[in-house]
Structure 1
Amino acid sequence: MDWINPVVISVLVMVVLCLLRMNVILALIIAGLVAGLSAGMGFGESIQHLISGMGDNAETALSYILLGALAVSIERTGAAKLLARGVAGLVGDHRSALLLALMLMACASQNLIPVHIAFIPIIVPPLLEVMNRMQLDRRAVATSLTFGLKTPYITLPVGFGLIFHNLIREQMTANGITIATSQVAQAMWLPGLGMVAGLLFALLVSYRKKRIYQDVELPGTKIQEDAGFHARHGWTLAAAVAAFGIQLATDSLVLGAISGLLIMFFSKAVSWQELNDSIEGGIGVMGFIAIVMLVAAGYGNIIRESGGVEKLVEFIASGMGEQKVVAAFLMLVVGLLVTMGIGTSFGTIPILASIFCPLGLELGFSTLGIIALLGTAGALGDAGSPASDSTLGPTSGLNMDGQHDHIWDTCVPTFLHFNIPLIIFGVLAALFL
């Protein structure tokens, strides 16, 4: 049976294992082996594809560890505590104000100052104490951050959004449908509206109740009791600004993070020993996520080599008939399965465009409808995937004290509140635009 497909089987295995609280790294490895074996590869060939694909995320993994070290260094100087007190003074006891502030930061990280998730391990950990005092459910925070990381690039042609929209234009043009970049925004506003609906439901219904967390000293840090502002805090601020600025100038998170660490060391904001401790602390708090990114890239390589994506789409296309509603739904399900496995909407677009473009024309969808299907299918699964930046980023900040579960507190909430409305609104966009 064609549904017995390497992509379908492996993604289901990964999801089930993660929901059963198996370590995400082990779940990805097992799911990758299942994909390889289902596609007729042996264990040796599957492992070879897994390892060879890991290099695709090597820079991202190193960036995570160095950003973790920078975050620990900032915490050690006491600057993070000053930031937390400042934010606490601004938002008071208004949980909605804090959620809005974090969401806007995440939005700005995609479009205004495209640093992506780099701000999270620096900004969020010092705010955990404030969230604890508010008894703010961190699932609401994870949902707000993921919304800010994802919705802007889907809907707005600015920053990472412009890259995403240009990617859709290039891939559709390469597959016989010539469009302008501006048309992507015209097609994606409706799926974006679906994400707004999901966010409002999460904040106003699902996670309104208070949730109690314990105040825990962050690993690898030393709480500073002195509440005054000192020169080291000024240098710490300069280091953070330099890290972001150099990252923007060089398009390298690695260079940005290293620059920030060196500024803190040479300015004596941190000592030699504290710098060493910060690196160890960065590995402690971010090393897991870095390894997840490496294994996820290897898993994605197995998925691509298995040929399962093409077979899956061909099977679905053969059973669509003339029902546009069914066709649109099944096409989006393909995007969900592929992106859940690969963990990147950007990487999914080239895979799906070669099939969605001729299929959409054959089924009679409008140009805007095909854009909406391709863009939504690519974005589906980015929220909810254990291997996605959009989920790993929020977890990196919220689990700094070990009280936030990556699967049940980030992936499941974002999957339910964003992927379901994306499918609904994506189908509507395909039918009516």
Structure 2
Amino acid sequence: LLLTVLLAAAIMSQNLVPIHIAFIPILVPPLLEVMHQLRLDRRLAACVLTFGLITPYMVLPVGFGSIFLHTQLGPSLAKAGLEIPKGELPLAMLLPAAGMVVGLILAFIRYRKPRDYRPVELPGEEQHAPLSPRNVIVAAIALAAALALQLYSDSIILGALAGFLVFTAGGVVPWRESQDAFTQGVKMMSLIGFIMIAANGYAAVVGASGQVPVLVESVTSGLQSPPLAAALLLLLGLFVTLGIGSSFSTIPIITTLYVPLCLALGFSPLATAALVGSAAALGDAGSPASDSTLGPTAGLNADGQHDHIRDTVIPTFIHYNLPLIAAGWLAAMVL
């Protein structure tokens, strides 16, 4: 039940109420004592949170999924010469997302045994008032308002703003603290914006150099096997995203190179989209610099008993990147 709650919260943070990892430092630390009593392996909790932070945006075209599919993947493919209808982009990512599901199941099997931790002592822990029915009702209204406005206006910003205003007007977020809460949220998300701007600029330089056709010709002249090409492209995407730490920022960089190469090797449009999307998502789990690993560590390490590399990065890399490579390769072969 505890892991289901964490998974549901992570999924909603991507699509229903797009706050990304901002919920983790609030929700997870108070649950560490429960995890301690249940002898829950926190590596499993990290895998559950990372799954919920990545998989939804791969297939659900709402919230961050809308940004990944409709703002990044679709336009980047079109700019590189491959037009794909918006409605077909989630279909191209279904098989890769299935690979993530397989990885989650394997994580449940691998980390099913109890694991002991020291008694939880959170620095600066404060007593909070019991949750009131009024706050629950306000939260439900905020969720509905955020989702409805986001779907109606196709604007993730308006949806998030509506949810925030409802929380503030309903008293869940005190009016005196609303400015600090809003500022902290902007600080947390601004880094993603800067990375995306830099990545788009780098992709523009690569395209303007005029060397992409030369690169494609040199690679395709010696590589005529689509299965081998698909595997190499996925591995390349893995290493790029591991360094950048953001699948959103990887798309503009790799699309410029991938689309001409895939078309030259005879991949279908859906297979090309699956390759680009999978290659971008690869490395988001398992990158030390990714929000999808930094966020879970920030919550699970509140008492200093969860190592970022050993307990988050390595488990998520093994359980998600390897199945995603296999699923992305299969999607490229069958679509």
Please classify the TM superposition score into its range, dividing by the shorter chain length. 0.7 to 0.9
Contact 2:11 2:56 in 1 (8 A): yes
Aligned to 1:403: 305
Contact 1:320 1:327 in 2 (8 A): no
Contact 2:32 2:120 in 1 (8 A): no
Gaps of 5+ in 2: 148-155
Aligned to 2:152: none
TM-score (norm 2): 0.78
Asked if residue 412 in structure 1 is aligned to residue 319 in structure 2, the reply is no
Deviation at 1:223, TM superposition (A): 4.5
Task: Note closer, same or farther for the CA distance 1:401–1:246 as it changes in structure 2 (3 Å cut).
Answer: farther
Asked if residue 332 in structure 1 is aligned to residue 237 in structure 2, the reply is no
Q: Deviations over 1:290-318 (max 9, x none)?
A: 7xx69x959x77x959x899999949935
Question: Which residue identity does 2:238 align to in structure 1?
Answer: L
Q: Give distance in 1, aligned partners of 2:62 and 2:125.
A: 37
Deviation at 1:323, TM superposition (A): 1.1
Task: Note closer, same or farther for the CA distance 1:240–1:396 as it changes in structure 2 (3 Å cut).
Answer: farther
Pick aligned residue for 1:201 from 95, 103, 106: 106
Task: Note closer, same or farther for the CA distance 1:351–1:256 as it changes in structure 2 (3 Å cut).
Answer: same
Pick aligned residue for 1:187 from 88, 92, 101: 92
Q: Deviations over 1:362-405 (max 9, x none)?
A: 01111111011000011111111111111111111111111111
Aligned to 2:273: 371
Contact 1:169 1:181 in 2 (8 A): yes
Deviation at 1:243, TM superposition (A): 9.5
Deviation at 1:178, TM superposition (A): 1.2
Deviation at 1:238, TM superposition (A): 9.3
Please state whether the residue corresponding to 1:387 is helix, strand or coil: coil
Aligned to 1:161: 65
Aligned to 2:118: 214
Q: Deviations over 1:160-187 (max 9, x none)?
A: 2122111211111111111101111111
Q: How does 1:31-430 map to 2 (within 5 A)?
A: 97-166=1-70, 167-204=72-109, 206-223=110-127, 229=130, 297=195, 304=202, 314=215, 317=219, 321-430=223-332
Contact 2:51 2:100 in 1 (8 A): yes
TM-score (norm 1): 0.62
Q: Give distance in 1, aligned partners of 2:270 and 2:158.
A: 35
Q: Give distance in 2, aligned partners of 1:389 and 1:243.
A: 25
Q: Deviations over 1:244-296 (max 9, x none)?
A: 8899765779x959x97xx68967xxxx9xx9xxx9xxx9xx9xx97xx69x9
Instruction: Tell me how large the CA RMSD over aligned residues is.
Output: 3.9
Q: Deviations over 1:119-159 (max 9, x none)?
A: 21111111111111001001000100111111111022222
Contact 1:242 1:256 in 2 (8 A): no
Q: Give distance in 2, aligned partners of 1:188 and 1:297.
A: 23
Question: Which residue identity does 2:60 align to in structure 1?
Answer: L
Contact 2:33 2:119 in 1 (8 A): yes
Please state whether the residue corresponding to 1:176 is helix, strand or coil: coil
Contact 1:320 1:326 in 2 (8 A): no
Contact 1:217 1:223 in 2 (8 A): no
Q: Give distance in 1, aligned partners of 2:299 and 2:115.
A: 18
Please state whether the residue corresponding to 2:14 is helix, strand or coil: coil
Q: Give distance in 1, aligned partners of 2:35 and 2:302.
A: 13
Task: Note closer, same or farther for the CA distance 1:430–1:265 as it changes in structure 2 (3 Å cut).
Answer: closer
Question: Which residue identity does 2:314 align to in structure 1?
Answer: V
Task: Note closer, same or farther for the CA distance 1:265–1:229 as it changes in structure 2 (3 Å cut).
Answer: closer
Identity of aligned pairs, percent?
47
Larger Rg: 1
Contact 2:19 2:160 in 1 (8 A): no
Please state whether the residue corresponding to 1:109 is helix, strand or coil: helix
Deviation at 1:236, TM superposition (A): 7.8
Please state whether the residue corresponding to 2:93 is helix, strand or coil: helix
Please state whether the residue corresponding to 1:119 is helix, strand or coil: helix
Gaps of 5+ in 1: 1-96
Equivalenced residue count is: 313
Task: Note closer, same or farther for the CA distance 1:219–1:251 as it changes in structure 2 (3 Å cut).
Answer: farther
Task: Note closer, same or farther for the CA distance 1:104–1:240 as it changes in structure 2 (3 Å cut).
Answer: closer
Deviation at 1:99, TM superposition (A): 1.1
Question: Which residue identity does 1:322 align to in structure 2?
Answer: Q
